[in-house]
A and B are shown apart, each in its own frame.
Chain A
């Protein structure tokens, strides 16, 4: 099975900061990574799919990229409403469609 190692597990940042979260896949999965935002008591929300494609309606400050088996999620300028937990997920051809451990983003 493909493992997704997400880091950091928690992150404290200020409004306006650039925030970066990384997921490393245990093998080559091409661009098959999605990023989700989850706020407390709510269902996850798809932000980025296929490593770098922005879901419709999602602000452009959210970005995704890939370097080999490393997948990078970036918020270019943190806003107060971005406080949430973020998850990567691999979705290569065969399951399990593993999620990363999550990154809890808090404000300083």
Chain B
């Protein structure tokens, strides 16, 4: 079964750090780009970051650039999001999502991991 499973969410104080992980299974991880997308409580979807298959191309939303770092370990079939200097507005469910081959749509999504930034 093709699957993405996020972990690492939790409660953190403003200014703190958190590292999210996304474990992939059931497909050739090295062949696919991956994205992080988040959704604040009761709000819409917000694209956060993109990483290419070989990690050479990385993009960030303006709202997280300079604070978040995306990375992947193809040997471990895993994706990461290091989140530093967290703010209240980073509170959201964070999804990892696989890029559809040949396109920039996202065809496989994890179940999400919840991040709450609060004092």
Interface residues of chain A, those whose CB is within 8 Å of chain B, are: 1, 32, 34, 36, 38, 43-46, 49-50, 55, 87, 89, 91-92, 94-102
Chain B: CB-nearest residue to A55 = B107
Residue among B59, B60, B103, B110 with max Cβ neighbours from chain A (10 Å): B103
Name the interface size band of chain B. Answer: 20 to 34
Which residues does chain B contribute within 8 Å of A99, judged by CB atoms? 44-47
Besides A34-B103, A44-B45, A50-B105, 4 new A-B residue pairs in contact (Cβ under 8 A), listed by A number: A96-B47, A96-B61, A97-B104, A100-B44
Residue among B44, B45, B62 with max Cβ neighbours from chain A (10 Å): B45
Interface residues of chain B, those whose CB is within 8 Å of chain A, are: 35, 37, 44-47, 50, 59-62, 95, 97, 100, 103-107, 109-112
Which residues does chain A contribute within 8 Å of B37, judged by CB atoms? 44
Q: Interface majority SS on B: helix, strand, loop or mixed?
A: strand
Total contacts A-B at CB 8 Å = 66
Which residues does chain B contribute within 8 Å of A38, judged by CB atoms? 45
Q: Is the CB of B110 within 8 A of A102?
A: no
Q: Of B45, B61, B97, B107, which is within 8 A of A95 by CB?
A: B61
Which residues does chain B contribute within 8 Å of A101, judged by CB atoms? 44
Q: Of B59, B60, B109, B110, which is within 8 A of A45 by CB?
A: B109
Evaluate whether A96 and B100 lie within 8 angstroms (CB atoms) in the complex, with A43-B112, A46-B105 already known. Answer: no
Which residues does chain B contribute within 8 Å of A49, judged by CB atoms? 100, 103, 105, 107
* A1-B97 Cα distance, complex, nearest whole Å: 22
Q: Of B62, B95, B100, B103, which is within 8 A of A43 by CB?
A: B95
Give the Cβ gap from B69 to chain A, nearest Cβ, in Å.
16
Which residues does chain A contribute within 8 Å of B109, judged by CB atoms? 43-45
Interface CB pairs A-B, < 8 A, 6? A43-B97, A44-B37, A46-B106, A50-B103, A95-B50, A100-B44
